[in-house]
Structure 1
Protein backbone atom coordinates (compact mmCIF):
# COMPACT_ATOMS: atom_id res chain seq x y z
CA UNK A 1 0.00 0.00 0.00
CA UNK A 2 1.19 3.51 -0.79
CA UNK A 3 1.59 5.76 2.24
CA UNK A 4 -0.46 8.96 2.37
CA UNK A 5 2.66 11.16 2.38
CA UNK A 6 3.79 9.47 -0.85
CA UNK A 7 0.31 9.98 -2.33
CA UNK A 8 0.47 13.70 -1.48
CA UNK A 9 3.97 14.02 -2.97
CA UNK A 10 2.95 12.36 -6.23
CA UNK A 11 -0.24 14.42 -6.64
CA UNK A 12 1.46 17.72 -5.75
CA UNK A 13 4.32 16.97 -8.11
CA UNK A 14 1.81 16.22 -10.87
CA UNK A 15 0.01 19.50 -10.21
CA UNK A 16 3.29 21.42 -10.46
CA UNK A 17 4.16 19.72 -13.74
CA UNK A 18 0.67 20.40 -15.09
CA UNK A 19 1.00 24.02 -14.02
CA UNK A 20 4.21 24.42 -16.05
CA UNK A 21 2.38 23.42 -19.21
CA UNK A 22 -0.89 25.14 -18.27
CA UNK A 23 0.64 28.53 -17.53
CA UNK A 24 2.29 28.52 -20.93
CA UNK A 25 -1.06 27.90 -22.59
CA UNK A 26 -2.88 30.38 -20.32
CA UNK A 27 -0.40 33.20 -20.98
CA UNK A 28 -0.75 32.65 -24.72
CA UNK A 29 -4.57 32.71 -24.54
CA UNK A 30 -5.01 29.17 -25.82
CA UNK A 31 -8.36 27.30 -25.64
CA UNK A 32 -7.73 25.47 -22.36
CA UNK A 33 -6.64 27.46 -19.32
CA UNK A 34 -4.02 26.54 -16.76
CA UNK A 35 -6.63 25.12 -14.42
CA UNK A 36 -7.60 22.42 -16.90
CA UNK A 37 -4.01 21.23 -17.22
CA UNK A 38 -3.47 21.20 -13.46
CA UNK A 39 -6.73 19.34 -12.85
CA UNK A 40 -5.97 16.71 -15.48
CA UNK A 41 -2.52 16.13 -13.96
CA UNK A 42 -3.95 15.94 -10.44
CA UNK A 43 -6.82 13.66 -11.46
CA UNK A 44 -4.60 11.31 -13.43
CA UNK A 45 -2.02 11.08 -10.65
CA UNK A 46 -4.63 10.63 -7.92
CA UNK A 47 -6.53 7.94 -9.82
CA UNK A 48 -3.34 6.10 -10.69
CA UNK A 49 -1.93 6.24 -7.15
CA UNK A 50 -5.18 5.15 -5.51
CA UNK A 51 -5.62 2.32 -8.00
CA UNK A 52 -2.04 1.17 -7.55
CA UNK A 53 -2.41 1.30 -3.78
CA UNK A 54 -5.67 -0.65 -3.98
CA UNK A 55 -4.08 -3.27 -6.21
CA UNK A 56 -1.09 -3.67 -3.91
CA UNK A 57 -3.21 -3.94 -0.76
CA UNK A 58 -5.70 -6.36 -2.36
CA UNK A 59 -2.98 -8.65 -3.62
CA UNK A 60 -1.28 -8.56 -0.19
CA UNK A 61 -4.53 -9.69 1.45
CA UNK A 62 -5.36 -12.43 -1.05
CA UNK A 63 -2.80 -13.73 -3.53
CA UNK A 64 -5.62 -15.19 -5.67
CA UNK A 65 -6.88 -11.68 -6.50
CA UNK A 66 -5.61 -10.35 -9.81
CA UNK A 67 -5.92 -6.61 -10.42
CA UNK A 68 -4.55 -4.91 -13.52
CA UNK A 69 -3.89 -1.20 -12.87
CA UNK A 70 -2.89 -0.71 -16.51
CA UNK A 71 -6.56 -0.84 -17.44
CA UNK A 72 -7.00 2.48 -15.62
CA UNK A 73 -4.36 4.02 -17.88
CA UNK A 74 -6.54 3.13 -20.87
CA UNK A 75 -9.53 4.80 -19.22
CA UNK A 76 -7.60 7.95 -18.32
CA UNK A 77 -6.21 8.32 -21.84
CA UNK A 78 -9.65 7.85 -23.39
CA UNK A 79 -11.33 10.25 -20.99
CA UNK A 80 -8.78 12.99 -21.59
CA UNK A 81 -9.39 12.58 -25.31
CA UNK A 82 -12.79 14.15 -24.77
CA UNK A 83 -11.17 17.23 -23.22
CA UNK A 84 -8.72 17.44 -26.09
CA UNK A 85 -11.55 17.26 -28.61
CA UNK A 86 -13.27 20.10 -26.78
CA UNK A 87 -10.17 22.25 -27.21
CA UNK A 88 -10.25 21.84 -30.97
CA UNK A 89 -12.43 24.49 -32.50
CA UNK A 90 -14.31 24.39 -35.76
CA UNK A 91 -12.29 25.01 -38.90
CA UNK A 92 -11.20 28.59 -39.47
CA UNK A 93 -11.60 30.50 -42.70
CA UNK A 94 -8.27 29.19 -43.94
CA UNK A 95 -9.42 25.57 -43.48
CA UNK A 96 -7.10 24.86 -40.55
CA UNK A 97 -8.29 23.51 -37.22
CA UNK A 98 -7.62 25.58 -34.12
CA UNK A 99 -6.68 24.22 -30.72
CA UNK A 100 -5.08 21.00 -31.92
CA UNK A 101 -1.84 21.66 -30.02
CA UNK A 102 -3.82 22.45 -26.86
CA UNK A 103 -5.80 19.24 -27.33
CA UNK A 104 -2.60 17.27 -27.70
CA UNK A 105 -1.04 19.06 -24.72
CA UNK A 106 -3.94 18.20 -22.40
CA UNK A 107 -3.62 14.58 -23.49
CA UNK A 108 0.15 14.67 -22.83
CA UNK A 109 -0.46 16.19 -19.37
CA UNK A 110 -2.48 13.05 -18.64
CA UNK A 111 0.74 11.11 -19.24
CA UNK A 112 2.47 13.34 -16.70
CA UNK A 113 -0.21 12.52 -14.14
CA UNK A 114 0.01 8.82 -14.87
CA UNK A 115 3.80 8.88 -14.51
CA UNK A 116 3.53 10.74 -11.19
CA UNK A 117 0.85 8.37 -9.96
CA UNK A 118 3.12 5.43 -10.68
CA UNK A 119 6.00 7.15 -8.86
CA UNK A 120 8.04 8.08 -11.93
CA UNK A 121 8.64 11.69 -10.87
CA UNK A 122 11.88 12.26 -12.83
CA UNK A 123 10.19 10.97 -15.95
CA UNK A 124 7.21 13.24 -15.33
CA UNK A 125 9.51 16.26 -14.97
CA UNK A 126 11.21 15.34 -18.24
CA UNK A 127 7.85 14.95 -20.01
CA UNK A 128 6.76 18.36 -18.68
CA UNK A 129 9.93 20.06 -19.89
CA UNK A 130 9.68 18.38 -23.27
CA UNK A 131 6.03 19.39 -23.72
CA UNK A 132 6.93 22.97 -22.76
CA UNK A 133 9.80 23.04 -25.25
CA UNK A 134 7.75 21.53 -28.08
CA UNK A 135 4.82 23.92 -27.53
CA UNK A 136 7.11 26.94 -27.47
CA UNK A 137 9.07 25.80 -30.51
CA UNK A 138 5.94 25.40 -32.59
CA UNK A 139 4.45 28.65 -31.29
CA UNK A 140 7.70 30.35 -32.33
CA UNK A 141 7.51 28.75 -35.78
CA UNK A 142 3.88 29.83 -36.12
CA UNK A 143 4.67 33.44 -35.19
CA UNK A 144 7.68 33.44 -37.52
CA UNK A 145 5.53 32.20 -40.42
CA UNK A 146 2.88 34.86 -39.76
CA UNK A 147 5.54 37.59 -39.78
CA UNK A 148 6.87 36.36 -43.13
CA UNK A 149 3.48 36.81 -44.82
Structure 2
Protein backbone atom coordinates (compact mmCIF):
# COMPACT_ATOMS: atom_id res chain seq x y z
CA UNK A 1 0.00 0.00 0.00
CA UNK A 2 1.34 3.42 -0.93
CA UNK A 3 0.92 5.95 1.87
CA UNK A 4 0.07 9.59 1.20
CA UNK A 5 3.61 10.90 1.77
CA UNK A 6 5.01 8.44 -0.77
CA UNK A 7 2.22 9.35 -3.19
CA UNK A 8 3.07 13.05 -2.92
CA UNK A 9 6.82 12.39 -3.21
CA UNK A 10 6.44 10.25 -6.32
CA UNK A 11 3.99 12.74 -7.83
CA UNK A 12 6.48 15.57 -7.33
CA UNK A 13 9.27 13.47 -8.83
CA UNK A 14 7.08 12.69 -11.86
CA UNK A 15 6.28 16.41 -12.25
CA UNK A 16 9.95 17.33 -11.99
CA UNK A 17 11.07 14.76 -14.53
CA UNK A 18 8.32 15.83 -16.92
CA UNK A 19 9.51 19.41 -16.46
CA UNK A 20 13.11 18.50 -17.34
CA UNK A 21 12.03 17.04 -20.68
CA UNK A 22 9.35 19.67 -21.24
CA UNK A 23 11.74 22.59 -20.82
CA UNK A 24 13.69 21.53 -23.88
CA UNK A 25 10.53 21.36 -25.94
CA UNK A 26 9.26 24.67 -24.57
CA UNK A 27 12.50 26.48 -25.43
CA UNK A 28 12.41 25.04 -28.95
CA UNK A 29 8.77 26.13 -29.39
CA UNK A 30 7.57 22.62 -30.19
CA UNK A 31 3.87 21.70 -30.46
CA UNK A 32 3.73 20.39 -26.89
CA UNK A 33 5.16 22.53 -24.11
CA UNK A 34 6.35 21.76 -20.61
CA UNK A 35 2.86 21.66 -19.08
CA UNK A 36 1.82 18.78 -21.33
CA UNK A 37 4.92 16.75 -20.47
CA UNK A 38 4.55 17.44 -16.77
CA UNK A 39 0.87 16.48 -16.76
CA UNK A 40 1.38 13.28 -18.74
CA UNK A 41 4.14 12.18 -16.38
CA UNK A 42 2.08 13.07 -13.31
CA UNK A 43 -1.05 11.39 -14.65
CA UNK A 44 0.75 8.16 -15.49
CA UNK A 45 2.39 8.09 -12.06
CA UNK A 46 -0.87 8.80 -10.24
CA UNK A 47 -2.86 6.14 -12.10
CA UNK A 48 -0.11 3.64 -11.43
CA UNK A 49 0.05 4.43 -7.69
CA UNK A 50 -3.72 4.32 -7.27
CA UNK A 51 -3.73 1.00 -9.13
CA UNK A 52 -1.08 -0.35 -6.77
CA UNK A 53 -3.31 0.61 -3.85
CA UNK A 54 -6.31 -1.03 -5.50
CA UNK A 55 -4.23 -4.16 -6.08
CA UNK A 56 -3.17 -4.21 -2.43
CA UNK A 57 -6.81 -3.87 -1.33
CA UNK A 58 -7.94 -6.57 -3.75
CA UNK A 59 -5.28 -8.93 -2.48
CA UNK A 60 -6.54 -8.49 1.08
CA UNK A 61 -10.04 -9.40 -0.10
CA UNK A 62 -8.80 -12.37 -2.18
CA UNK A 63 -9.91 -10.63 -5.39
CA UNK A 64 -7.80 -10.85 -8.53
CA UNK A 65 -6.38 -7.59 -9.85
CA UNK A 66 -4.09 -7.60 -12.90
CA UNK A 67 -1.72 -4.63 -12.72
CA UNK A 68 -0.28 -5.50 -16.14
CA UNK A 69 -3.63 -4.57 -17.70
CA UNK A 70 -3.49 -1.16 -16.05
CA UNK A 71 0.06 -0.61 -17.30
CA UNK A 72 -0.98 -1.72 -20.78
CA UNK A 73 -3.91 0.70 -20.74
CA UNK A 74 -1.70 3.58 -19.67
CA UNK A 75 0.84 2.84 -22.40
CA UNK A 76 -1.90 2.64 -25.04
CA UNK A 77 -3.57 5.82 -23.84
CA UNK A 78 -0.33 7.75 -23.91
CA UNK A 79 0.34 6.40 -27.39
CA UNK A 80 -3.01 7.78 -28.48
CA UNK A 81 -2.12 11.16 -27.00
CA UNK A 82 1.26 11.10 -28.75
CA UNK A 83 -0.42 10.26 -32.03
CA UNK A 84 -2.41 13.46 -31.66
CA UNK A 85 0.85 15.41 -31.85
CA UNK A 86 1.66 13.88 -35.23
CA UNK A 87 0.30 15.63 -38.29
CA UNK A 88 0.60 14.83 -41.96
CA UNK A 89 1.05 17.34 -44.73
CA UNK A 90 -1.15 15.84 -47.42
CA UNK A 91 0.58 17.65 -50.26
CA UNK A 92 4.02 16.18 -49.67
CA UNK A 93 3.14 13.20 -47.45
CA UNK A 94 5.65 14.18 -44.75
CA UNK A 95 4.84 13.78 -41.08
CA UNK A 96 5.28 16.52 -38.48
CA UNK A 97 5.39 16.05 -34.74
CA UNK A 98 6.83 12.53 -34.68
CA UNK A 99 9.56 13.65 -32.28
CA UNK A 100 7.01 15.26 -29.96
CA UNK A 101 4.71 12.28 -30.23
CA UNK A 102 7.43 9.82 -29.35
CA UNK A 103 8.69 12.01 -26.52
CA UNK A 104 5.23 12.27 -24.96
CA UNK A 105 5.18 8.47 -24.95
CA UNK A 106 8.59 8.34 -23.24
CA UNK A 107 7.46 10.88 -20.62
CA UNK A 108 4.40 8.74 -19.92
CA UNK A 109 6.67 5.76 -19.36
CA UNK A 110 8.79 7.90 -17.03
CA UNK A 111 5.69 8.70 -14.99
CA UNK A 112 4.65 5.05 -15.01
CA UNK A 113 8.10 4.06 -13.79
CA UNK A 114 7.99 6.61 -10.97
CA UNK A 115 4.51 5.44 -10.01
CA UNK A 116 5.77 1.89 -9.69
CA UNK A 117 8.54 3.13 -7.39
CA UNK A 118 11.49 2.87 -9.77
CA UNK A 119 12.61 6.46 -9.26
CA UNK A 120 16.30 5.95 -10.11
CA UNK A 121 15.36 4.21 -13.35
CA UNK A 122 12.96 7.03 -14.22
CA UNK A 123 15.67 9.63 -13.56
CA UNK A 124 18.02 7.65 -15.82
CA UNK A 125 15.50 7.57 -18.68
CA UNK A 126 14.84 11.29 -18.20
CA UNK A 127 18.53 12.11 -18.41
CA UNK A 128 18.95 9.90 -21.48
CA UNK A 129 15.98 11.61 -23.14
CA UNK A 130 17.34 15.04 -22.32
CA UNK A 131 20.76 14.04 -23.69
CA UNK A 132 19.21 12.84 -26.95
CA UNK A 133 17.35 16.13 -27.31
CA UNK A 134 20.46 18.15 -26.48
CA UNK A 135 22.91 16.16 -28.60
CA UNK A 136 20.65 16.16 -31.64
CA UNK A 137 20.11 19.91 -31.23
CA UNK A 138 23.86 20.51 -31.01
CA UNK A 139 24.57 18.31 -34.02
CA UNK A 140 21.97 20.16 -36.06
CA UNK A 141 23.55 23.49 -35.12
CA UNK A 142 27.11 22.30 -35.63
CA UNK A 143 26.52 20.85 -39.06
CA UNK A 144 23.98 23.48 -40.04
CA UNK A 145 21.28 20.88 -40.56
CA UNK A 146 17.74 22.06 -41.03
CA UNK A 147 15.20 20.66 -38.68
CA UNK A 148 13.35 18.05 -40.60
CA UNK A 149 9.67 17.41 -40.27
CA UNK A 150 9.98 14.75 -37.57
CA UNK A 151 9.84 17.28 -34.72
**Normalising by the residue count of structure 1, what TM-score does the alignment of the two structures yield?**
0.89
More moved, 79-88 vs 7-16: 79-88
- Decide whether aligned partners of structure 1 residues 45 and 27 sit closer, same or farther in structure 2, where only a CA change above 3 A counts: same
2: CA distance, partners of 1:12 / 1:29: 25
Aligned equivalent of 1:5: 5
Aligned equivalent of 1:58: 58
Q: How many aligned positions are there?
A: 145
Higher helix residue share: 1
1: CA distance, partners of 2:146 / 2:76: 34
- Decide whether aligned partners of structure 1 residues 125 and 83 sit closer, same or farther in structure 2, where only a CA change above 3 A counts: same
Name stretches of at least 5 consecutive residues in structure 1 with no aligned partner. none
* Secondary structure at 1:76 match in 2: helix
Name stretches of at least 5 consecutive residues in structure 2 with no aligned partner. none
Q: What RMSD, in angstroms, separates the aligned Cα atoms of the two structures?
A: 1.8
Instruction: Describe how 1:1-149 pairs up with structure 2 within 5 A.
Output: 1-59=1-59, 61-62=60-61, 64-91=62-89, 95-143=93-141, 144=143, 145-146=145-146
